[in-house]
Each structure stands twice: as structure tokens, then as C-alpha cells.
């Protein structure tokens, strides 16, 4: 009988594994080095650590996976050779995004830094056709001329073709016809249509999302094919579910046509895990903080649920698919410290990654990193990194920091290491502000859930800076994103644009449109062998005032819609608008823009053991003492986390070590173990600071 739930998260440095035995309740966690040359091999290495000794691959019930493969292909510009088909006369749309569509947009178009082009002008083909905003054909698709122009694709080496015609979301006939012709001319190329990738209004977001989708798809599909073949060779035959940016999982087969939805795969899993722990511990306002080897990611949870946004930035590219609200920066354990031309100390965004890794790693690089600084400060134990799997070279860390930072800046090595930590902390504090203060939220109202291999090392320092009163470190922080996969549901978002005045549109028409979308979703999930009774649909409509350009989503109840339902939607929209923008315009007409459907399959959540609180005395868990630097050397007790039990309390300075991470408690802070085995660090903020 299938019994194992498996979550695997690939990071820039480590691949994390969490396996839950549904029958025995046993949890197995492991970390192995990621394998950048072949990421699937890292997955296999992690699985090999678990299976054997009577554990059979055939007993896998669920296999959930988070991967950076799509993100890396985009950010490192290592995607497929892609061509673009666009309506004749509109090739400039891709090069001239609207101001305000990207986070770096400014008021002057002449100096505005445009996003890099994934498809060059000479690889763009103009198609003689035109459809209007109602879906009417203004100019028939000229087959003879289109075929003549498409002949340029032959012998071009094209791997992927993005098709984005004007208003194809209202009438997809021309895009679908082009797919047939491209398949005849270059059958080896994959074709991605905007009417399927993002069937909604706004030319530039639809175009750039479709191009990114086409650019990363061949890379992602090759990876999924290799991984599924490798899993099958290990006798794991259950479907592979992959985390999406929206916090839900889909099968690899379902994501082959829409891999753009995997861009924030790994970070989304971590936020889900933070939300789950928050609900478990009655903490409904949570900031998730995930610091790994390459990046730091932060997200926000309100009322126990992660915040979802309709579009997000991936590097310089706008992606208009739903995503958990995340901020990601190049600040991880492997982030490289360097000195700029002005003689200022910088940290990141470049990273040593898994290969060669920080200077202190076996066969590590020559440049100093955050991990090297952590070792020098005594925060990390060179003999107990990843539970002793890897031995760190403290002397190599000191040499790298001395040579590249301390000597050029005329500092001592320990001053340079401390400076590296202060600089990277400043970078991460800014990311935390972006996801809270810039969203109108006060970080003092939240608990910071810290995870990732390096998150618990640095979280208490960041909380002190932002006046966040509590830090929660999960029981297995280093593999927390893998655990987040195990509490995810299956989920897919659907959208369809159809303009109408809210006053004039009939409730029956709205119901028919939602029913049509639900029928498509129902078929897709049932074709995966999922019973119809487990499939749940959630509806929403995007509304805007007639004088506006952008819209807000309003939930729509399922079932027979009452004739006066539109009155309730209008009131909900006015209230939502006031909450977001501080005003409402009740004298303005409201328009319906998009119909949205989120379809879920709720996966049973793993049971969590709750333990009665015991003694506050934690001295029995002390395994050693060593000097650690907290703006001065302090004699610091080192705790074995496995020896800490619910109810234990300890005062900082203290360092808590476990296989997958290290938690640092600073002087003046207090920590306690809660009934679920989490560590809660109290950050004492003076009244004058609040």
C-alpha cells in the first residue's frame, strides 16, 4: 500500500528531501549538494539516501517537486532559440513596455532601462491579419503571404515559437491556424499561443508572458522528461507534481505547455509551509523568510493564507500569471563579498553556488562569502555542517576574507567578517520592508518564520532591526520548502476576458461563462484520474470603474446566482477599492473585464504531533561551548536541537545546531520550544523603539 509522501526542493546550493511515512508517522529529512550540470541527478541522489533498508520506491503515494529550472533558464538567458509571430505593424510592442508595467519604470522613456529582448527583431515575423477588440475579423489571415513569411523559420535553428496576435483572446482562430502551418514548416519546433498561455486583455503583459513561456519551455520539458524517466527507472510510477508560482501543484504533463507558471516554484513552496505552521500555531500574520545558498526570499501571509498577486517580476521580465506575493534578492550563504570601484564593501548578488561553493567548502572557491563570514564569527560549526556530512575549512574562510576584504580595506579579518554580515543583513532588511512596509503593512504586527539553511542563522538579527517581536524557526528549517510541498494542494488558475457593463450584463450570462470554464477545468483534472467529488472551483470577476485602466478581483459565489447578485459584487468592489487605494467612486459605472476560475484538489494534510510542555530547563541539551562574535567575542553555549524538548527555554547568546540548519540567538533575546517543536525567539524591543 502506498505510504510515502515525498517532497523534493532544488536550491542553488542544496537539494532538500522530506519524506513522510503516512503509516508510521516517521519523517525523514536530508540535504545533498545540487548538481547544476544535471539537476535531475541531485533529485536521484536525494532519493537514494532514503530508499533501501526495506523502503520501497513502489510505496510512494505522492511526489511533489519544486525546481528553479525555469527561473534559471530565464535569469541566466539560457532558454531556447525562440521566434515570435505578431500582428503586422505591431513589432514595436515587445520593445516598448508601458511605463508602470515594470518595477523599474520611470517617467522618462528616453532613459528608461528596457528589459532585455528574448527575441530579436530579426527573429520576429509580422503576420498579415487583424482581429478587433470584440473578436471580429477586420483582415482575413492571408494564407499565401503568411506561409511565404513563415518560410524564414526553415533552417533557422528555431526551437520554440511564440504566437501573439492582437485580440486573440477574443478570437483564437488565427493563432491556432498559424500553429498548424508552423508545424508543417518546422515540425521539430514547439509552438506556444497567447490565447492558451494568457487569454486576457493587455497586449504587452500577454506578449511578454507568452515569449517567456516559449523561451523556457524546451529547457523545462527536457528536464521534466529526464526526471520522469529517472523516477521510472527507480520504480517510482506515481505522477510527478510540480509546484507553481501560485502555490498549487500540477502534474509535469499539465505544465509542459505552461512552464511559465513554474518561475517561482521553490519560493512558493516555502511560503506555503510558513502559512501552514502559522495556522498550526495560531499565528495568522506571518512573514516568511527563506535564506538558502544563493538567494533570500520573503513573502507575506494574512489571515492564515499567502497573499496572491495577478502579476510579478522575474528579473526584468513581467509575468502576468497569478503568483504568491514574493520578493527575492541575491543574498544567500554563497553570496560573494566584494569591493566596488569606490572602495565600498558589497555582498552579492553574484553567488558561488554549489560549484565551486564558498571558500570554506571542500574544493570551494577562492572568493569570500556570507557562509565564510558565519564560520569566522563562530556561528557555524565547521565539524557539524549539514549534520557533519561536510567539513568546513575555517582557515580557508579566513584567508579568503583577509585577502579580498580585510587587507584592501585595512581591517582585521574579524571586522571584515562582521562587516559582511552587516551588509548582507541590510540587503535582506530591505527585502522584508518591500514585502511589508511598501505594501502598507507594519512588520511589528507579524511573526517572522525563518527557514532555509541560512535563514535561522540570520533571522533574529533582521527581526531586531525591523522591530519584529517574534521569530519562529520550524522543527526542520533547512528542508522547510520541501515540507511546504507536502502541505500543498493541486491547483490551476483559468482566466478569460470579456468586456461588459456590470449594470447591463445578465447574471445568467455570467453563470454560463463560469460553467463553461468549469467544464474545461473539470475535464482536465478528471483526465488525471481525480474523482469529480474532490475537485473544487472558486470563482471571481475582475471589475474596474469605467474611467480606470486596471481592475480588482471580487469573489463570486457558486451555485444559482441570485438576480441581485450584481448589487453585492458592486458593494464588494467599492469596499475593495477603498481598502487598496483609500477611495471609492460610487457615482462611476463599473465594468466587468475578466472572469477568473481557480480549480483545486485538496490534498489531505499530514498529521502533526503535539507535545505537552515540560520543564523550562534546557541545560541538558548543551553539547559544547565556544567563542562566538556578537560585536565582541562572547562565550556561547551550543545546543543540540535534538536534545531540546517542548517547554525548554534559553537565553542568548546561544547557538542551536541540527542537521539541516543552525539557529543563532543574540544577546538580550530569549528562545523557547513550543508544543510542536518549533523554536520561538522573543525579540525584546524597548518602548522607545516601537
pLDDT (0 to 100) of residue 355? 79
- Whether residue 201 sits in one domain with residue 89: yes
- Mean pLDDT across the chain: 91
> What's the rounded mean pLDDT across residues 90-94?
82
- Whether residue 309 sits in one domain with residue 249: no
pLDDT (0 to 100) of residue 131? 96
The gap from C-alpha 131 to its chain's centroid, in whole angstroms, comes to 36
612: CB partners within 8 A, 6+ apart: 646, 675
Looking at mean pLDDT, say which of 100-109, 306-315, 555-564, 616-625 comes out highest: 616-625
Length of the chain: 690
- Whether residue 508 sits in one domain with residue 467: no
Specify the number of domains making up the chain.
6
Does residue 613 sit within a domain? Answer: no
- Is the separation of the CB atoms in 163 and 175 below 8 Å? yes
pLDDT tens-digit readout, 380-421:
999 998 888 889 999 999 999 999 999 999 999 999 999 999
> What's the rounded mean pLDDT across residues 180-205?
95
Does the N-terminal peptide bond of residue 653 adopt cis geometry, omega within 30 degrees of 0? yes
- Whether residue 582 sits in one domain with residue 501: yes
144: CB partners within 8 A, 6+ apart: none
pLDDT tens-digit readout, 228-271:
999 999 899 888 999 999 999 999 989 999 999 999 888 899 99
Find the helix or strand (DSSP H, E) in which 252 lies: helix 252-255
- Whether residue 397 sits in one domain with residue 347: yes
Tell me the CATH number at 480: 3.30.420
Please report which confidence band the pLDDT of residue 573 belongs to, taking 50, 70 and 90 as the band edges.
very high
- Whether residue 563 sits in one domain with residue 625: no
**Rounded Cα gap, residues 91 and 349, in angstroms:** 33
Does residue 41 sit within a domain? Answer: yes
- Whether residue 467 sits in one domain with residue 500: no
- Whether residue 516 sits in one domain with residue 477: no
Of 262, 280, 315, which residue is a domain's last?
A: 262
Does residue 382 sit within a domain? Answer: no
pLDDT (0 to 100) of residue 21? 87
Does residue 62 sit within a domain? Answer: yes
pLDDT tens-digit readout, 493-523:
999 999 999 999 999 899 999 999 999 999 9
Does residue 98 sit within a domain? Answer: yes
Unique residue bearing C-alpha cell 516598448: 96
Please report which confidence band the pLDDT of residue 626 belongs to, taking 50, 70 and 90 as the band edges.
very high
Please report which confidence band the pLDDT of residue 474 belongs to, taking 50, 70 and 90 as the band edges.
very high
pLDDT tens-digit readout, 3-18:
899 999 998 778 999 9
Q: Strands 160-164 and 190-193, how do they pair?
A: parallel
pLDDT at 685 over 90: no
pLDDT (0 to 100) of residue 97? 63
Q: Which of 337, 350, 457 is nearest to 403 (CA)?
A: 337
Domain range for 199: 78-217
**Rounded Cα gap, residues 428 and 459, in angstroms:** 9
- Whether residue 320 sits in one domain with residue 189: no
pLDDT tens-digit readout, 160-172:
999 999 999 999 9
Does residue 179 sit within a domain? Answer: yes
Does residue 608 sit within a domain? Answer: no
pLDDT tens-digit readout, 100-131:
444 444 444 455 566 678 999 999 999 999 99
pLDDT (0 to 100) of residue 608? 78
- Whether residue 371 sits in one domain with residue 238: no
- Whether residue 642 sits in one domain with residue 557: no
- Whether residue 642 sits in one domain with residue 539: no
pLDDT (0 to 100) of residue 260? 95
**Sign of torsion, CA 59 64 70 72?**
negative
Amino acid at each position: 500500500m502506498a505510504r510515502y509522501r515525498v517532497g523534493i526542493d532544488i536550491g542553488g546550493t542544496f537539494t532538500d528531501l522530506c519524506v513522510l511515512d503516512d503509516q508510521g508517522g516517521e519523517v525523514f529529512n536530508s540535504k545533498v549538494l545540487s548538481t547544476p550540470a544535471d539537476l535531475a541527478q541531485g533529485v536521484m541522489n536525494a532519493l537514494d539516501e532514503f530508499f533501501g533498508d526495506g523502503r520501497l520506491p513502489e510505496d510512494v503515494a505522492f511526489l511533489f517537486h519544486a525546481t528553479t529550472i525555469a527561473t534559471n533558464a530565464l535569469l541566466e538567458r539560457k532558454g531556447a532559440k525562440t521566434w515570435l509571430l505578431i500582428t503586422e505593424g505591431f513589432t514595436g510592442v515587445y520593445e516598448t513596455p508601458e511605463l508602470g508595467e515594470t518595477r523599474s519604470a520611470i517617467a522618462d522613456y528616453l532613459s528608461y532601462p528596457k528589459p532585455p529582448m528574448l527575441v530579436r527583431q530579426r527573429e520576429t515575423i509580422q503576420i498579415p491579419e487583424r482581429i478587433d477588440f470584440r473578436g471580429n475579423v477586420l483582415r482575413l489571415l492571408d494564407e499565401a503571404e503568411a506561409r511565404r513569411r513563415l518560410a524564414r523559420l526553415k533552417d533557422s535553428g528555431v526551437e520554440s515559437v511564440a504566437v501573439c496576435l492582437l485580440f486573440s483572446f477574443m478570437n483564437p482562430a488565427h493563432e491556432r491556424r498559424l500553429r498548424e502551418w508552423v508545424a508543417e514548416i518546422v515540425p521539430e519546433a514547439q509552438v506556444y499561443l497567447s490565447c492558451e498561455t494568457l487569454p486576457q486583455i493587455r497586449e504587452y503583459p500577454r506578449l511578454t508572458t507568452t515569449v517567456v513561456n516559449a523561451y523556457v519551455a524546451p529547457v523545462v520539458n527536457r528536464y521534466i522528461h529526464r526526471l520522469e524517466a529517472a523516477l521510472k527507472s527507480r520504480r517510482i510510477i506515481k505522477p510527478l507534481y510540480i509546484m507553481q508560482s501560485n502555490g498549487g501543484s500540477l502534474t509535469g504533463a499539465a505544465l509542459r505547455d505552461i512552464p511559465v507558471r513554474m518561475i517561482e516554484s521553490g519560493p512558493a513552496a516555502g511560503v506555503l509551509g510558513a502559512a501552514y505552521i502559522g495556522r498550526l500555531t495560531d499565528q495568522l500574520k506571518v512573514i516568511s523568510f527563506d535564506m538558502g545558498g544563493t538567494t533570500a526570499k520573503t513573502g507575506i501571509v494574512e489571515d492564515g493564507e499567502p497573499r496572491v498577486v495577478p502579476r510579478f517580476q522575474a528579473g526584468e521580465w513581467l509575468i502576468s500569471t497569478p503568483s504568491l506575493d514574493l520578493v527575492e534578492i541575491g543574498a544567500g550563504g554563497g553570496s560573494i563579498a566584494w569591493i566596488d570601484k569606490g572602495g565600498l564593501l558589497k555582498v552579492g548578488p553574484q553567488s558561488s553556488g554549489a560549484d565551486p561553493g564558498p571558500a570554506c567548502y571542500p574544493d570551494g572557491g577562492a572568493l569570500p562569502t556570507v557562509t565564510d563570514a558565519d564560520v569566522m564569527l563562530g556561528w557555524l560549526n565547521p565539524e557539524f555542517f549539514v549534520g557533519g556530512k561536510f567539513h568546513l575549512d575555517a582557515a580557508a574562510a579566513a584567508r579568503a576574507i583577509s585577502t579580498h576584504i580585510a587587507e584592501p580595506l585595512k581591517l582585521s579579518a574579524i571586522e571584515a567578517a562582521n562587516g559582511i554580515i552587516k551588509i548582507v543583513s541590510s540587503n535582506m532588511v530591505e527585502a522584508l520592508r518591500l514585502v511589508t512596509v511598501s505594501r502598507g503593512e507594519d512588520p511589528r504586527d507579524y511573526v517572522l518564520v525563518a527557514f532555509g539553511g541560512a535563514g535561522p542563522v540570520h533571522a533574529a538579527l533582521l527581526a531586531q532591526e525591523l522591530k519584529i517581536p517574534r521569530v519562529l524557526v520550524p522543527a526542520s528549517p533547512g528542508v522547510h520548502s520541501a515540507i511546504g510541498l507536502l502541505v500543498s494542494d493541486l491547483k490551476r488558475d483559468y482566466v478569460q476576458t470579456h468586456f461588459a457593463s456590470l449594470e447591463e450584463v445578465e447574471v445568467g450570462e455570467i453563470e454560463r461563462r463560469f460553467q463553461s470554464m468549469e467544464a474545461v477545468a473539470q475535464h482536465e483534472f478528471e483526465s488525471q484520474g481525480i474523482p469529480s467529488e474532490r475537485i473544487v472551483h472558486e470563482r471571481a470577476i475582475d471589475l474596474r470603474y469605467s474611467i480606470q485602466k486596471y481592475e480588482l478581483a471580487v469573489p463570486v459565489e457558486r451555485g444559482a446566482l441570485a438576480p441581485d447578485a450584481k448589487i453585492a459584487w458592486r458593494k464588494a468592489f467599492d469596499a475593495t477599492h477603498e481598502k487598496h487605494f483609500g477611495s471609492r467612486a460610487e457615482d462611476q459605472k463599473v465594468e466587468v473585464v475578466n472572469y477568473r476560475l481557480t480549480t483545486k484538489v485538496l490534498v489531505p494534510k499530514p498529521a502533526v504531533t503535539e507535545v505537552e510542555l515540560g520543564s523550562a530547563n534546557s541545560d541538558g541539551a548543551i553539547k559544547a561551548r565556544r567563542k562566538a562574535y556578537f560585536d565582541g567575542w562572547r562565550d556561547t553555549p551550543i545546543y543540540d536541537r535534538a536534545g531540546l524538548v517542548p517547554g525548554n527555554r534559553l537565553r542568548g547568546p546561544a547557538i542551536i545546531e541540527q542537521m539541516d540548519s543552525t539557529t543563532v540567538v543574540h544577546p538580550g533575546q530569549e528562545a523557547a520550544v513550543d508544543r510542536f517543536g518549533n523554536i520561538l525567539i522573543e525579540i525584546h524591543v524597548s518602548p522607545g523603539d516601537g
